[in-house]
């Protein structure tokens, strides 16, 4: 009796896989729209190869990182014919998504609404269109993106836009075409390049004295390198990244023949006590012979809260944003976070140094079940010159 019981328990015990082992066949179940090659292409191995447990687990991780699937179950089966089969049972996400974002600050506002499909034709291709309203001006964007260009781990994008950007002395109207390609050398290193060709025309501002630059027709080549990784764990972030961008521009009309720029950004996030985030963003840039609109603009819409939008135009700058964020309330579908912050910058236009400093606080109303979804409201007080309060609103976090 005891012997029979032991044999029954052994028969019911789960099989412990031994690694490495040869995989003869890969089966994919549950696909309705996505092509099977999209799944197989993500795997770092192929049928007929001997793989390690790390290879096996990396394949599943890569499938999750595509964001195409809501469920992924994987198992190893040893069939009666002697073959070892890896079976993926997958549930697809709905890939057609609405797009909405907005920003308010420094006396300016904008919103964008559109749609995209990140799994067009079931091939992990993306198309997208978006309408933008910036103040009183209407514009739009459209793009096509291949997330596995040439069946490699490269992302390629073709992008076109017709957009307006109000500045204190003029409003810029831009028509632009862009091509960019980037790839991940590993999970913490990314490199890429972007080619832009654009035409800028300038019209009078809605308020203030106009000072219009000459019409600009130019091309730019941007290369970038990024190391590090920032991970989001529900409402909090952790990790760091450093990005460097180099720009070489060729002016055809309205600019010197050549101009150059260098831009860098450092992000650092520290989680503590399971409820708080210390978030830091540092940026710096310099330009040589850049035309007016291609210089750096600092202001309250997206960089230094409390100030008028684009109040400073400069060729060299350094800035930092420091935020302490804390979870006030957290549930499955709704969360509230508070934030206290300090924003600061210094700009050098070649004639004088311009300091900028503000402090403030705000609240974020978030939906944890959706990625980076929610609204933000901040109030800041400037500390250079006469202290002046300013409001800033937007989607999700400030950075």
Dihedral class, residue 328 (left if φ above 0, else alpha if ψ from -120 to 50, else beta) = alpha
Residues of the chain within CATH 3.10.20.310 domain(s) are 16-92
Cα–Cα distance, 83 to 385 (Å, whole number):
76
For residues 218-239, give the mean pLDDT: 92
| CB-based burial label for 42 (10 Å; 0-12, 13-18, 19+) | buried
CATH 2.40.160.50 maps onto the chain at 96-395
- The most confident of 2-16, 329-343, 367-381, by mean pLDDT: 329-343
Tell me what pLDDT residue 381 has: 96
Sign of the CA dihedral running 184, 185, 190, 192: negative
Q: Quick check: 307 pLDDT over 80?
A: yes
* pLDDT greater at residue 114 or residue 370: 114
What burial class does residue 154 get, using C-beta atoms within 10 Å of its C-beta: 0-12 exposed, 13-18 middle, 19+ buried?
A: middle
| pLDDT confidence bin for 394, thresholds 50/70/90 | very high
Q: Which residues pair with 99 in a beta bridge?
A: 114
Q: What is the pLDDT of residue 3?
A: 59
The string of pLDDT tens digits covering residues 143-193 is: 999 999 999 999 999 999 999 999 999 999 999 999 999 998 987 899 999
For the domain spanning 96-395, the CATH number is: 2.40.160.50
Q: What is the mean pLDDT of residues 109-121?
A: 96
Question: Is the pLDDT assigned to residue 10 strictly greater than 50?
Answer: no
* Strand order, beta sheet including 25-29: 25-29, 84-92, 69-78
**pLDDT score, position 67:** 86
**Which pLDDT belongs to residue 136?**
94
* Tokens found for residue 358: 């503000």
Residue 85 CA to residue 22 CA, distance in Å, equals 9
Rounded Cα distance between 397 and 399, Å, is 5
Question: Does residue 240 carry a pLDDT above 80?
Answer: yes
Cα 168 to its chain centre, rounded Å, is: 28
Percent of the chain with pLDDT over 90: 81
pLDDT tens per residue, range 91-102: 998 899 899 999
What is the tens place of the pLDDT at every residue in 42-83? 999 999 999 999 999 999 989 988 989 988 999 999 999 999
- As given in the structure block, the two tokens for residue 309 are 């939008």
Average pLDDT over residues 316-343: 96
Structure confidence at residue 14 (pLDDT): 52
The number of angstroms, rounded, from the C-alpha of 183 to the middle of its chain's C-alpha atoms is: 14
The pTM of this model reads 0.83
Report which of 243, 247, 128 is spatially closest to residue 198, judged by C-alpha positions. Answer: 247
Bigger pLDDT: 385 or 353?
353
How sure is the predictor about 254, in pLDDT bands with cuts at 50, 70 and 90?
Answer: confident
Residue 175, burial from CB neighbour count under 10 angstroms (0-12, 13-18, 19+) = middle
The pLDDT of residue 4 is 55
Confidence of residue 12 (pLDDT cuts 50, 70, 90): low
**What's the CA dihedral at 191, 195, 201, 202 to 10 degrees?**
20
The bridge status of strand 216-233 relative to strand 276-288 is unpaired
pLDDT(255) > 90: no
Tokens representing residue 267 in the block: 């992000």
Domain 16-92 class in CATH: alpha beta
């Amino acid at each position: 009796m005891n012997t029979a019981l032991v044999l029954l328990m052994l028969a019911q015990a789960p099989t412990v896989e031994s690694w490495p082992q040869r995989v003869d066949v890969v089966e994919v179940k549950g696909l309705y729209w996505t092509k099977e090659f999209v799944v197989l292409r993500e795997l770092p191995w192929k049928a007929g190869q001997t793989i390690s447990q790390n290879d096996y687990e990396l394949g599943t991780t890569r499938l999750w990182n595509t964001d195409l699937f809501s469920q992924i179950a994987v198992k190893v089966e040893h069939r009666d014919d002697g073959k070892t089969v890896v079976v993926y049972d997958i549930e697809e996400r709905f890939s057609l998504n609405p797009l909405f974002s907005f920003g308010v600050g420094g006396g300016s506002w904008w919103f964008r609404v559109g749609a995209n499909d990140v799994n067009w034709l079931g091939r992990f291709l993306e198309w997208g269109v978006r309408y933008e309203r910036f103040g009183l001006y209407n514009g739009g964007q459209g793009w096509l993106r291949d997330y596995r260009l040439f069946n490699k781990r490269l992302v390629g994008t073709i992008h076109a836009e017709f957009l307006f950007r109000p500045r204190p002395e003029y409003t810029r109207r831009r028509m632009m075409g862009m091509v960019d390609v980037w790839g991940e050398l590993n999970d913490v290193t990314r490199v890429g390049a972007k080619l832009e060709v654009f035409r800028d025309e300038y019209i009078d501002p809605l308020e203030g004295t106009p000072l219009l630059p000459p019409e600009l027709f130019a091309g730019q080549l941007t290369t970038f390198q990024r190391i590090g990784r920032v991970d989001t764990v529900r409402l909090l972030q952790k990790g760091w990244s450093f990005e460097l961008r180099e720009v070489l521009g060729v002016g055809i009309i309205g600019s010197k023949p050549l101009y150059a720029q260098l831009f860098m950004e450092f992000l650092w996030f520290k989680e503590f006590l399971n409820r708080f985030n210390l978030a830091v963003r540092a940026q710096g840039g310099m330009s040589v012979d850049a035309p007016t609109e291609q210089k750096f603009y600092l202001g309250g819409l997206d960089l230094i809260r409390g100030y008028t939008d684009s109040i400073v135009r400069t060729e060299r700058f350094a800035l930092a944003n420091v935020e302490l964020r804390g979870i006030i309330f957290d549930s499955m579908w709704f969360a509230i976070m508070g934030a206290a912050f300090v924003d600061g910058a210094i700009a050098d236009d070649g004639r004088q140094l311009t300091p900028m400093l503000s402090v403030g606080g705000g609240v974020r109303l978030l939906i944890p079940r959706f990625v980076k979804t929610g609204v933000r409201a901040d109030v800041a007080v400037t500390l250079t010159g006469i202290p002046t309060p300013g409001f800033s609103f937007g989607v999700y976090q400030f950075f």
